[in-house]
Amino acid sequence: MNKVRVLGVIPARGGSKGVKNKNIKKLLNKPLLEYSIVEAKKSEVLDDFIVSTDSKNIQRIAQDLGAKVPFLRPKYLATDNALAMDTVRHAVLEYEKLNNVTVEIVVMLQATAPLRKAYHIDDALRKFAKSNFDSCISVVNVDNNHPFKMKRIVGNRLTDFIETGLENPPRQSLPDVFIVNGALYIVKRDIIVNNFSFKGKTCLPYEMEKIDSVNIDTNVDFLLAEQILKFKKEI
């Protein structure tokens, strides 16, 4: 069997609850999916990439944009409860079977991260290749949205999510905390295929700037991404 060292997978199902047809909804007159396809094509480190979808319409759009969509994923992997990990695992196994190859490294590129660029993909992959880690996930600093500042409502009472003894501590006094931004998941093939996970025993963090880290889930996220893209064009 031949080997494909690095395979990118862009999941893009047809249905979505929060935003109808989210993956092909227009962002500055381009389907959301297009942003990830364009950057994947620019990558110097990805050996190949495919789009995984259950929708013939998305398949056609992705192919028109120059992406490979060699199969349609089964409907059970396109429900609201379906896990991205199961979808990507299926895509890897189907790709290997269709092409008679073995993949070494898998990169999930979510279509909902339109501000992630090819240089993020390549930089993260190069750092990963030089490391002894088995996975890598992109993150962003939570800044002022810190868990020490968060609250819960218990009954009708406002309570601290984490007790610190200080109400609304200044951001500068807090330890750095990061949240997954959804832009990059890099993992050795056997971790996802055999262990059913994007995160192995040793996971390398890849920190990204806030301005590159919008993960689209709502219409408000679309508005934010649109403003950032316009801002970047102006500078």
Task: Kindly state the average pLDDT of the residues 165-194.
Answer: 91
User: How long is the chain?
Assistant: 235
Q: How far apart are CA 140 and CA 231, in angstroms?
A: 20
Reported confidence tier of residue 201, pLDDT bands at 50, 70, 90: very high
Delimiting residues of CATH 3.90.550.10 domain(s) in the chain: 2-140+178-234
Structure tokens at 106: 């898998």
Task: Provide DSSP, 145-171.
Answer: S-GGG-EEEETTEEEESS--SSSS--G
Check residue 170 and give its pLDDT. 82
* pLDDT at position 223 over 80: yes
CA atoms within 13 A on the CB side of 186: 29
Q: How far apart are CA 223 and CA 228, in angstroms?
A: 9
* pLDDT at position 4 over 80: no
The 10s digit of each residue's pLDDT in 128-172 is 999 999 999 999 999 989 999 999 999 999 999 988 888 888 878
What DSSP state is assigned to residue 73? P
Q: How far apart are CA 149 and CA 167, in angstroms?
A: 8
Q: How far apart are CA 119 and CA 40, in angstroms?
A: 10
* pLDDT at position 1 over 60: no
The 10s digit of each residue's pLDDT in 63-76 is 999 999 999 999 99
Whole-model pTM?
0.93
Closest CA to 32 of 111, 87, 107, 95: 111
Do residues 199 and 137 lie in contact, with contact meaning Cβ atoms separated by under 8 Å?
yes
Task: Kindly state the average pLDDT of the residues 45-60.
Answer: 97
**CATH of segment(s) 2-140+178-234:** 3.90.550.10
Do residues 198 and 87 lie in contact, with contact meaning Cβ atoms separated by under 8 Å?
no
101 vs 168: which has the higher pLDDT: 101
Check residue 224 and give its pLDDT. 96
Q: What are the φ/ψ torsions at residue 56 (nearest 5 degrees)?
A: -65, -30
Calculate the CA dihedral of residues 3, 116, 20, 61 and round it to 10 degrees. -50
To 10 degrees, what angle do helices 118-130 and 32-42 make? 50
Mean pLDDT, the chain, whole residue set: 94
